């Protein structure tokens, strides 16, 4: 690091008197300190200040940056477009077109040319002015134009399609419903994943603090044992055990801090925050410190509050309201319409089409006709009826396929309802288990802390061994860890029950039939 000074200051630093050298050294040290402070401030500004993120902020941010949610939104948009396409077949279809054609060679122009060359000039009687020959000649001159311009309107309307339109619209409606339900399911799953990652990061931070506290206790115990060994009241064996206990705690501290950093990295990834950005989590895990009177009785008919979000969700564990069940029901309705269309496939289909055209033949050298009267009309209306006569078994095959698809969808619906009931009961059981585990952990850490303080006093007074103190400290640490993990598991279990209606079904591991 190079520091440039003004010329007079440089001369002062090289002055020989001791007083001048002391002044120059003081100025040099001050300049180095100022520049170091400036560099430290710059690096702090570049690293960025910690961002305070609550659970509500995390849920809101995740909904906007999640790739899964965006993909589900695109799928819902595609389903709405397909539904619009299917419904458009009920309405008349009207298309307009315009064409410009220029002939390189025309038979009418050749006929007109030869007719003009072979026709001998002779006076015509007045009575032949309106003859058919002159009319044909006029028509021939019109078609002899090298340019043909066409303006067309094409109209079509389905009258009867033997259930095909109903089936296609039912499929589109089912796809739309499934896509919307799937979007809600994805949002609920992302919310649960983010909340779990948030609580994991908070719990990991608390576990790291517990590990640091345990290491400090081990250090304090080692100091007391060392003093006791110096005065002869503690054996070398006790000193070795205290030192080993302290050294064994250091890897636990390193692992706890590593787990905390990994949990924060996972949370940053879910929120789309740069991985190097410091975070401050402001929503704490609820730990009332009071054990429920009857933890095994779980009430799921009251709203569940989301910490930090200032709102609550009412759980709904009804199997028929699960997202997967509603998707399966929509699929069954669509396949029933498809089967009905397959049964009606032998019926005729009726449609009406109409084509209205205007033709113009501008003279040579012009692009557009001189007037609208030179556009000649051509209008036709067609009513069409079509029905299968012989298809080689295709209609029977379509019907069998539709019946098989419907049967498969109905069985899938019944199985999904069973899985939904099982998943709901599992979620409620997990919530009851989490409440019981939290109730068992409440108060245990306080008793363990009291036991450890007594063990420390006994160890100082020389009436207990190092083994007793180490055992009490291990129990105290385990009790604190159990309470933090139990509180975190209870928060996640509550949120899962609150979001259960929209969550996807958990993959069953057994009981498939």
Is residue 155 in some structural domain? no
Domain span including residue 185:
55-80+167-330+402-498
Please give the chain's pLDDT, 513 residues, in tens.
343 433 433 333 344 444 444 444 344 334 434 444 444 434 433 456 888 998 889 999 988 899 999 999 999 999 999 999 999 999 999 999 998 888 777 766 666 676 667 665 555 554 444 444 455 555 656 666 777 888 899 999 999 888 888 888 888 998 899 999 999 999 999 999 999 999 999 999 999 999 999 999 889 888 988 888 888 877 888 888 889 988 999 999 999 999 999 999 999 999 999 989 898 999 898 887 665 544 445 556 666 766 655 566 778 888 899 999 999 999 998 898 889 888 888 888 999 999 999 888 776 556 666 666 677 888 999 999 998 888 889 989 999 999 999 999 999 999 999 999 999 999 999 999 998 899 888 888 888 989 988 888 887 777 777 788 888 888 889 999 999 999 999 999 999 998 999 999 887 654 555
Is residue 74 in some structural domain? yes
> How many folded domains does the chain comprise?
1
d(CA 92, CA 109): 41
Is residue 255 in some structural domain? yes
Is residue 395 in some structural domain? no
Q: In 10 A of CB 197, how many CB atoms?
A: 21
DSSP reduced 3-state for 12? helix
**Sign for the pseudo-dihedral over CA of 423, 426, 428, 434:** negative
d(CA 480, CA 208): 11
d(CA 481, CA 3): 52
CATH code for the domain in which residue 254 is found? 1.20.1600.10
* Tally of CA atoms within 13 A in the half-sphere of 404 that contains its CB: 6
Is residue 98 in some structural domain? no
pLDDT tens for 131-159 read: 444 555 556 566 667 778 888 999 999 99
- Beta-bridge partners for 352: 157, 383
Is residue 221 in some structural domain? yes
Please state the φ and ψ torsions of residue 223, each to the nearest 5 degrees.
-65, -45
Is residue 49 in some structural domain? no
pLDDT tens for 420-467 read: 999 999 999 999 999 889 988 888 888 898 998 888 888 777 777 778
Mean pLDDT of the chain: 80
d(CA 389, CA 347): 10
DSSP state of 384: E
Q: Give one DSSP letter per residue of 74-130, joined into a string.
A: HHHHHHHHHHHHHHGGGS-EEEEEEEEEE-SS-HHHHHHHHHHHHPPP----GGGTT
Q: How far is CA 59 from the centre of its chain?
A: 12
d(CA 185, CA 200): 22
Strands (E), 415-455: none
Is residue 188 in some structural domain? yes
pTM, 2 dp? 0.74
Tokens in use for 148? 């043909």
pLDDT tens for 422-433 read: 999 999 999 999
Strands (E), 311-348: 311-313
């Amino acid at each position: 690091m190079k520091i440039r000074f003004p010329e007079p200051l440089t001369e002062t630093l090289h002055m020989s008197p001791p007083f001048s050298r002391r002044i120059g050294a003081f100025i040099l040290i001050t300049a180095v300190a100022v520049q170091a402070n400036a560099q430290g401030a710059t690096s702090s500004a570049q690293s960025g200040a910690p961002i305070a993120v609550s659970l509500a902020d995390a849920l809101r941010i995740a909904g906007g940056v999640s790739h899964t949610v965006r993909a589900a939104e695109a799928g819902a948009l595609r389903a709405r477009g397909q539904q619009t396409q299917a419904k458009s077949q009920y309405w008349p279809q009207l298309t307009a077109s315009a064409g410009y054609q220029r002939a390189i060679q025309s038979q009418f122009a050749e006929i007109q040319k030869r007719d003009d060359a072979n026709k001998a000039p002779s006076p015509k009687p007045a009575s032949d002015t309106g003859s058919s020959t002159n009319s044909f000649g006029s028509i021939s001159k019109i078609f002899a134009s090298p340019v043909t311009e066409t303006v067309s309107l094409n109209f079509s309307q389905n009258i009867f399609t033997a259930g095909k339109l109903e089936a296609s619209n039912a499929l589109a409606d089912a796809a739309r419903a499934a896509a919307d339900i799937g979007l809600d399911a994805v949002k609920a799953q992302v919310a649960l994943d983010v909340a779990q990652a948030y609580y994991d990061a908070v719990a990991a931070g608390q576990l790291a603090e517990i590990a640091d506290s345990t290491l400090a206790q081990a250090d304090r115990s080692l100091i007391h044992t060392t003093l006791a060994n110096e005065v002869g009241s503690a054996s070398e064996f006790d000193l070795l055990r205290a030192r080993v206990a302290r050294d064994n705690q250091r890897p636990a501290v390193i692992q706890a801090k590593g787990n905390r950093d990994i949990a924060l990295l996972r949370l940053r990834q879910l929120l789309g925050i740069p991985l190097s950005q410091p975070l401050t989590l402001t929503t704490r895990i609820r730990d009332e410190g009071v054990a429920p009177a009857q933890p095994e009785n779980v009430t799921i008919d009251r709203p569940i509050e989301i910490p930090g979000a200032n709102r609550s969700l009412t759980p709904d564990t009804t199997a028929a309201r699960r997202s997967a069940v509603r998707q399966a029901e929509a699929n069954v309705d669509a396949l029933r319409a498809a089967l009905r269309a397959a049964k009606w496939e032998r019926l005729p289909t009726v449609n009406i089409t109409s084509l209205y055209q205007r033709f113009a033949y501008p003279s040579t050298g012009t692009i557009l006709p001189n007037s609208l009267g030179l556009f000649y009309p051509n209008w036709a209306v067609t009513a069409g009826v079509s029905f299968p006569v012989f298809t080689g078994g295709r209609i029977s095959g379509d019907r069998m396929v539709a019946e098989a698809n419907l049967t498969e969808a109905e069985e899938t619906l019944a199985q999904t309802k069973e899985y939904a009931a099982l998943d709901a009961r599992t979620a409620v059981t997990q919530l009851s288990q989490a409440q019981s585990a939290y109730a068992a952990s409440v108060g245990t850490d306080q008793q363990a802390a009291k036991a450890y303080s007594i063990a420390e006093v006994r160890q100082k007074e020389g009436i207990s061994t190092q083994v007793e103190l180490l055992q009490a400290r291990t129990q105290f640490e385990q009790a604190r860890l159990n309470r933090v993990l139990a509180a975190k598991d209870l928060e996640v279990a509550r949120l899962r029950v609150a979001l259960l209606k929209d969550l996807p079904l958990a993959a069953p591991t057994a009981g498939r039939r």
